[in-house]
Structure formats: structure tokens, C-alpha cells
Amino acid sequence: MSEIDKNRDLLERFNPDGVRLAKETVHPVFPDLVDKIVSDIYGFAYRRPVLDIKTRHLISLAAISAMGGAENQLRFQLGAALNLGISADEVREVFIQVAVFSGNARAFNAAAVFKEITEETESKK
């Protein structure tokens, strides 16, 4: 069984289309990389017992936003935040922390991606 199938429950919580996306994007050309990433994120980090999934995800958003250059991952994880029930206000507070500790440019770039995600989500309603 692939890591995608083993972690189907979390992938679908993050994005109802997550399993298909995981199988059809990079997996066909680099299955080992995708399996490692899925295992690390959804099989290991998000299944640990001390922090709840919401807290872990807010931390993940902060880390991805702070490092910059990971807009594809940020786009997916911001959409996942909304699917997980994280509010827009909570995401905005993450970007405040990013601005203070990692710089305004990183926070602004993350906010711009979030604006796109929220506009896409609203247009689908």
C-alpha cells in the first residue's frame, strides 16, 4: 500500500481532492519523493499526540510563510487551513507573527497568496 493510500484520511481532510492530486501531480515521475513527503507530513508529523491538528497546521503555515519560495506548498496548505476549519482571522494572526519574526516581505507574500485562495473559495460558493 502506498503512503498516499495509508494517509488517505488526512489527505482528504486537508483537501477533498488531495488523494487525486497526490497521485497525479509529481507521483508519476518521482514516486519515492512523494511517498517520503506524504509519510513525513501526514504519516508522522500530523499524527503526533501532543499538539492538535489545528495548532500543527498554524505552525506549518508560519514555517512555510517564513521560509518563502514555497508558494505552491503555501497555496495548498492555506486551502487546507480553510478545509480544517481554521478561520481567516487565525491565518491573518499567523502572518502578523511572520512579519514580526521573519520580515514584512515574507508576510506580505503569504497574505497575497491567501487573498487568492479566499477569492477562489468565495467564487466557488
CATH code, domain carrying 72:
1.20.1290.10
Q: How much is the pLDDT for 122?
A: 86
Residue 31 pLDDT exceeds 90: yes
For the chain, how many structural domains are there in total?
2
- 35 plus 86 within the same structural domain: no
> What grid cell was written down for 37?
513527503
For residue 123, CA distances in Å to 105, 113, 114, 120 come to 27, 16, 14, 5
Q: Are residues 124 and 101 in the same domain?
A: yes
Contact 57, 93 (CB under 8 A): no
Same-domain pairing of 26 and 38: yes
Do 41 and 69 belong to one domain? no
Same domain, 7 and 62: no
Is 44 found in the same domain as 103?
Answer: no
State residue 30 phi and psi, 5-degree precision: -150, 65
What distance in Å separates the CA atoms of residue 37 and residue 25, rounded to the nearest whole number? 13
The domain in which residue 107 lies consists of 51-125
Residues 113-124 have pLDDT tens digits of 999 999 998 888
Percent of the chain with pLDDT over 70: 100
pTM of the full predicted structure?
0.89
| Domain match, 67 and 111 both | yes
Question: For 34-58, what is the mean pLDDT?
Answer: 96
Residue 48: pLDDT band by 50, 70, 90 thresholds?
Answer: very high
Q: Which three cell numbers stand for residue 9?
A: 484520511
> Mean pLDDT throughout 26-39?
93
